[in-house]
Structure 1
Amino acid sequence: MGRTGNGRRVCALGVAGVLAGTVLVGCGDDGDGAGGASATSSTGAREQGTRAVRSAYDKTAEEDTAKVKLRVRTSAQGASQTANGQGVVDLDDGDSVMTLTAQGQRIEQRVIDQVLYQKPPKGQAPGGKPWIRIDLRKVAAQQGTDDRSMSDPAQSAAYAKAITDKDVTKKGTATIDGVKTTHYRVSVDVAELPNGDTLRKQVGPTLPMDVWLDDEGRMRRQQIDMTIKTPEATQRSSTDASSAPEKITVRTVMDFTDFGTEVEADEPPAGQVTDMTGKALEQGKKRS
């Protein structure tokens, strides 16, 4: 994998494909954060939490890589589906190798230099080849975002530096995979995210994000909850009797363990890959 040469990048991972390109932001340093009787101690605790979240990108970046477990629960019209994933991720450049399972189907996924490769169950990939390929940079460009925004941790890190004391609240402690962590809730200003104006129309002005941080200031768990208006609902006439917005709720939880583990992300042989970038761009135009 190619390195960016910037060791102070971290904690953003473009999880594309079946996981809808979830962009993860946040993490932090373990702060005291316990509320005191006085306003001064309460303010001090809140400031500690804010510093923790701001500094966590750098602290986690120092570990370079990690194993990751992912759970995405999607609910709409009274029904829900859950996708699970596990694998390894390069916290510096966003490369990853994962196995995803949804509705009993297993998908192998790799992200290499901002290109997504997926291997669906046998016989389900278009083009008669086992792998499909989507250039995430071209998809991001169509959406009007910086071509790095889907996988460049520096984009998210820049946002983290702008978090203020009113955005961060300490929620308590928890043990995750045998590690004691401190739980913070962060209110994410959607306008500060890549393509924020468009995203704001779909999910609203803010997103609730929870992070669990170990005593070394590294992120161990991150959870993001989104309520998304479907494009069809957004485009309906307000006079339509059936124009009540249809919504999809998505909860994404990602756990990080085994920092420093080896990541080997290799491109599939070219003869086994069907390029689906054009199809993805075509679908993107229909939704816009």
Structure 2
Amino acid sequence: MVVQQHRCGGGALAVLALTVAGVMTVGSGCSGAGGGGGDAAGERVAGGAPAGSPAAVVRRAAEELADVGSAEARTSMETSAGGTRVTIRGKGAYDFRRQLGEIEVVLPKDAAGAEEHRPITELLAPGALYMKNRGAGVPDDKWVRIDTTSLEDGNLVTGGVTDPTAAAELLRGAAEVTYVGRTELAGVEVRHYRGTADLGRAAREASPSSRGALTAAAKGFSTDTVPFDAYLDDDGLLRKVRHRFTFATEGPAVAVVSTLLLYGFGTPVSVTLPPEADIYTGRVQQGAGGPETP
């Protein structure tokens, strides 16, 4: 595995600290991880698979999702450091054409120093992340808005949920992709591909509304490659994708595994972004006894 050094300074990657407010303190240094797979350019899969090499098939994932329109989504983001493992889960729906979605994020018990935690509602929009029930001094009736193009990771991990469009657009940078084989996922026959995604290439080839966040992520990492496993059905629809990041800190290294599961394609999705009057403009505490941010 190639360890990539992430130029953070603690802002974007207090890994999930912005959202979780205490799941785990990451410190001020960060890195992402990359890995490789055999070069299978030109390999074709028999049995009615989408045409093209494995890399070409995977790179089309974002376009295929935009064509189908929308889907229901389940997410998980698992962090592991020093023998401690924390998993944050989400469930919702996403419109790939408008790049709008709503995910209810559930924090694990005691993640923020209490037994039970209200789910955090996240609204995902081009260039923005809105969070409600943020805690840390934010009034219950207010939303926190974050400009994802200002995050050094482009909101690939900061929000506790990798934006479904960003997860798919990241695959535009797919390289060294191998076809692993057929398997079954939630009763659907899928094809499993494994490879690495180049953030720089993904940012250059991303849709205009996604380019800003991925460009920020590409600039934030000194090495662009991110390992992934992608599962596509016979129509070329992305059913599941898992990206693996590793962040080096002042303490033990932190591994972050972000997984997106898509199903219920074509489900109507209605997302209303909050008006300006409902956006909290005060200071947000980063964690118990921690610093505050505007």
Structure 2 residue aligned with 1:18: 19
Contact 1:125 1:132 in 2 (8 A): no
Aligned match of 1:115 in 128, 135, 156? 128
CA deviations 1:61-109 (Å, max 9, x no partner) are 1111110000111111110100110000111232111111112422122
Which amino acid in 2 is paired with 1:249? A
Aligned match of 2:101 in 83, 96, 101? 96
Which amino acid in 2 is paired with 1:184? Y
- Structure 1 residue 114 displacement after superposition: 3.4
Structure 1 residue aligned with 2:53: 48
**Higher relative contact order, structure no. (Cα contacts within 8 Å, ≥ 6 residues apart):** 2
Structure 2 residue aligned with 1:254: 260
Q: Secondary structure at the match of 2:103?
A: strand
- Structure 1 residue 272 displacement after superposition: 4.5
Q: Trace 1:218-237 onto structure 2 (pairs within 5 A).
A: 218-230=237-249, 233=250
Aligned match of 2:235 in 216, 222, 241? 216
CA deviations 1:13-44 (Å, max 9, x no partner) are xxx86389xxxxxxxxxx8537xxxxxxxxxx
Change (3 A) 1:221 1:153: closer
CA deviations 1:84-138 (Å, max 9, x no partner) are 10000111232111111112422122124533222227xx3524343332232xx
- Greater Cα radius of gyration, structure 1 or 2: 1
Contact 2:66 2:96 in 1 (8 A): yes
Change (3 A) 1:57 1:19: farther
Q: Secondary structure at the match of 1:187?
A: strand
Which amino acid in 2 is paired with 1:217? G
Structure 1 residue aligned with 2:5: none
Two-structure CA RMSD over aligned residues (Å):
3.8
Contact 2:44 2:52 in 1 (8 A): no
Which amino acid in 2 is paired with 1:111? L
Counterpart check, 1:198 vs 2:220: yes
Structure 1 residue aligned with 2:226: 207
Q: Secondary structure at the match of 2:190?
A: strand
Q: Secondary structure at the match of 1:265?
A: coil
Change (3 A) 1:117 1:142: closer
5+ residue gaps, structure 1: 1-15, 21-30, 35-44, 234-244
TM-score, with structure 1 as normaliser? 0.64
- Structure 1 residue 154 displacement after superposition: 9.0
Contact 1:130 1:273 in 2 (8 A): no
- Number of residues of Structure 1 aligned to a counterpart in Structure 2: 222
Rounded to whole Å, the distance in 2 between the matches of 1:46 and 1:170 is 13
